[in-house]
Amino acid sequence: MIWNWQQPEWPAFTWDSKALEALEGEFLRQSGEFVGAFRHISADDKDAIRIELISEEAVKTSQIEGELLSRESVQSSLRQQFGLGPASANIPPAERGIAMMMADLYRDYAAALADESLFSWHKMLMSGDATIRTVGGYRTHADPMQVVSGPDYKRTVHFEAPPSVAMAEEMARFNAWFNDTGPNGAHQLPALTRAGLAHLYFVSIHPFEDGNGRIARALAEKSLAQNLGHPSLIALAYTIERKRKDYYAALERNNKGPEITNWLVYFAHTIIEAQATTIRRVDFYVAKTRFYDRFRDRLNERQAKVIARMLKEGLDGFKGGLSAENYITITGASRATATRDLQDLVEKGALSRTGELRHTRYWLALADGLS
């Protein structure tokens, strides 16, 4: 198999810019919509939303790689990073490391890209991982860097990256390209084009022993933030994780040659979807705040516990709706008490009801327009 970096054109990727024009325009339109929505939120609420959005990205970018983290620990570490309070005791290294990287990405998005900044991110990500030989530096091992699947006796090689001896040269060229195509560079690229290209170019080099996917997604977000002139807070990893197979399939389809229109269009659509999700998340948070302002003094202890549990599910909601059995499980109430509590919540306007008998389900009655 001949990979993209083995082609004589490498790394001169090609694409059809016209295929991206409408998507680039949609991205800028939605960016303005997000800024407008965020402008009318109080400072305290902005801090809370930032922590929620960034922690979700931290958890999801790790989950894409099969690493399951504690959202509560990540949020606690992020609050400390942003000076919003002390971190909880005994936060695991993985949660602390990804929180540090995401906070650094948010604060220093405008900084030029250099080896030192990438090494710093890698140290944060790999803190506590004793299996990595080179932490905070590009890989040096002689073995081929391959992306594989399947058992040892029947392995499928999805990609093989350039050899380790080429890392210094490859990354010097990548960093120069990234900075040169930014808003202040000599060869500026539109936002979606640059972000998609940065991601594919970086993972094609695969410069680290581990953490390449997470850093590639962080670079895409850094690229978007630089083009916008402010942190994007975009739900990129959240969106990719929901369709992870499509993500890996798109990468594999575009790692063999220089023509990457297919990849850029896929990644642009993913960013547009992620951007819309971020806007819905902000709307959801505002609706949640108004909901609590309206009902917090009108709920008994059992009702408050169930409402908190439903709101914790966020945009995805309580799967299938809340049933009386769910209510009983969460609160430990009797069936008669659960029935009275649920009816009371419907009468107050806190919940809506659908279905009958055993098919009855209850849904949060949040502001209109949320989906």
pLDDT at 367: 62
272 is an annotated ligand-binding site residue? no
| Residue 97 CB partners (closer than 8 Å, separation 6+) | 124, 125, 126, 127, 128
Let me know if 139 is exposed, middle or buried by CB neighbors in 10 A (0-12, 13-18, 19+): buried
254 is an annotated ligand-binding site residue: no
Looking at residue 368, its pLDDT comes to 47
Domain edges within the chain: 4-283, 298-364
pLDDT, mean of residues 250-254: 97
Q: Which two tokens stand for residue 109?
A: 């998005």
Residue 369 confidence (pLDDT) above 60: no
List pLDDT tens digits, range 188-245: 999 999 999 999 999 999 999 999 999 999 999 999 999 999 999 999 999 999 999 9
How much is the average pLDDT of 26-50?
91
pLDDT of residue 230: 95
Which residue has 């091992």 as its token pair?
Answer: 141
CATH of domain 298-364: 1.10.10.10
User: What average pLDDT does this structure show over 96-125?
Assistant: 98
pLDDT at residue 128 greater than cutoff 90: no
Which letter, b or e, does each residue of 30-66 get, where b requires 16 or more Cβ atoms within 10 Å of its Cβ? bbeebeeebeebeeeeeebbbbbbbbbbbbbbbbbee
| Annotated binding residue 66 | no
State yes or no: pLDDT of 61 exceeds 50: yes
Q: Is 109 annotated as a binding residue?
A: no
* Position 260 pLDDT exceeds 50: yes
Q: 4-283 and 298-364: same fold?
A: no
Q: State residue 371's pLDDT score.
A: 41
Pair 71, 59: CB distance under 8 Å: yes
The DSSP element (H or E) to which 158 belongs, if any, is strand 156-160
Distance of CA 324 to the CA centre of its chain: 34
Determine what percent of the chain is predicted with pLDDT higher than 90.
85
Q: Is there a catalytic annotation at residue 230?
A: no
- The mean predicted confidence, pLDDT, of the chain is 94
**pLDDT tens digits for 270-320?**
999 999 999 998 888 888 888 989 998 999 999 999 999 999 887 767 788
From 40, 141, 206, 359, the catalytic residue: 206
63 pLDDT above the threshold of 50: yes
pLDDT tens for 177-203 read 999 999 999 999 999 999 999 999 999
211 among the known binding-site residues? yes
As a whole number of angstroms, the distance between CA 200 and CA 254 comes to: 8
Quote the pLDDT of residue 328: 97
Query: Domain 4-283, what architecture?
Result: Orthogonal Bundle (1.10)
